[in-house]
Amino acid sequence: MISIKNLNKTYVTPHSKITALSNINLEIEKGDIFGIIGFSGAGKSTLIRCINRLEEPDSGTILIEGQDITAMNNTQLRLARRKIGMIFQQFNLLDAKTVYQNVAFPLEVSGYPKKLIHSRVEEILELVGLADKAKAYPLQLSGGQKQRVGIARALSNEPNVLLSDEATSALDPQTTYSILELLKDINKKLGLTIVLITHELDVLKHICNNMAVIEQGEIVENGPVEKFFLNPESDTAKRFIDILQGFQAKRVYRGGEGI
């Protein structure tokens, strides 16, 4: 479904060159929920933004359902992006527009007929559990509700791929759980391929089937989520597991069970 070959990205500053991605190779199966984990600055956000060319890679190829995203001109890319939804950590909603208008906006830009827009928006709001919030404005919503609007907007053009850029990082644990359950439900009902970047192990464990670990712009481990937790190979993966175990031990101690 998504095939990334020899992907490279460098940022040039007045004083130096920063390698964000170095020779990235990944295969993501159709319908998978695939996680990419790494510490801050590892390159995970750059990688996911290269998939829809919000960031321009220096070299390499990205194939989505056999189409080379990196070889497309602007017109071709605009059409291809309609089938690549994206949700963000900070929601990126239009505060002056209602929930309905936020979800309808991508369809209006794509030139959909008004009657089709109306039925599509109603369908998606029902799917994400916000049918009763169509006339509300973002400032009237909770963080979890805002993210549901973001998800609904990303689904408006009936994408084949959904990219999630730290979509639960700004949410509390209970809300995070509800959003992850929604993404799992969407994956099951719509057969979407979901690529999710995070620095939270609980997110990986709860929702992802397969995953990759990125460190200093390189993929250092790749495989099933179960393998990552049971037998981490890379130093980065081991650090993540150590942090998780330390957090769990501290939580048990504070609860009095460790005394």
Residue type, 216: Q
Kindly state the average pLDDT of the residues 136-154.
95
- What are the beta bridge partners of residue 221? 213
Which residues fall within 8 angstroms of residue 242, CB to CB, at 6 or more apart? none
What's the confidence (pLDDT) of residue 250? 57
What's the confidence (pLDDT) of residue 200? 85
pLDDT surpassing 70 at residue 255: no
Which residues fall within 8 angstroms of residue 237, CB to CB, at 6 or more apart? 213, 220, 221, 228
pLDDT surpassing 60 at residue 252: no
- For residues 176, 96, 82, 212, the Cα torsion angle rounded to the nearest 10 degrees is -30
Residue type, 117: I
**Residue (of 161, 144, 31) closest to 86 by Cα position:** 161
pLDDT surpassing 90 at residue 258: no
**Rounded alpha-carbon distances, angstroms, from residue 172 to 98, 148, 194, 235, 240:** 24, 14, 22, 29, 20
Torsion-angle region of residue 256: left (phi > 0), alpha (psi -120 to 50) or beta? Answer: left
**Residue (of 56, 79, 63) closest to 28 by Cα position:** 63
Q: Which domains does the chain have, with CATH numbers?
A: 1-83+161-170+193-259 (3.40.50.300)
pLDDT tens track for 153-196 = 999 999 999 999 988 888 898 999 999 999 999 999 999 999 99
- Band the pLDDT of 259: cuts 50, 70, 90: very low
pLDDT surpassing 80 at residue 249: no
- Band the pLDDT of 9: cuts 50, 70, 90: very high
CB atoms within 10 A of CB 255: 9
- Band the pLDDT of 91: cuts 50, 70, 90: confident
Inter-helix orientation angle 114-127/99-109, to 10°: 130
What's the confidence (pLDDT) of residue 11? 94
Which residues fall within 8 angstroms of residue 136, CB to CB, at 6 or more apart? 98, 99
Kindly state the average pLDDT of the residues 37-43.
91
Higher per-residue confidence, 4 vs 259: 4
Kindly state the average pLDDT of the residues 35-51.
93
pTM for the full predicted model: 0.90
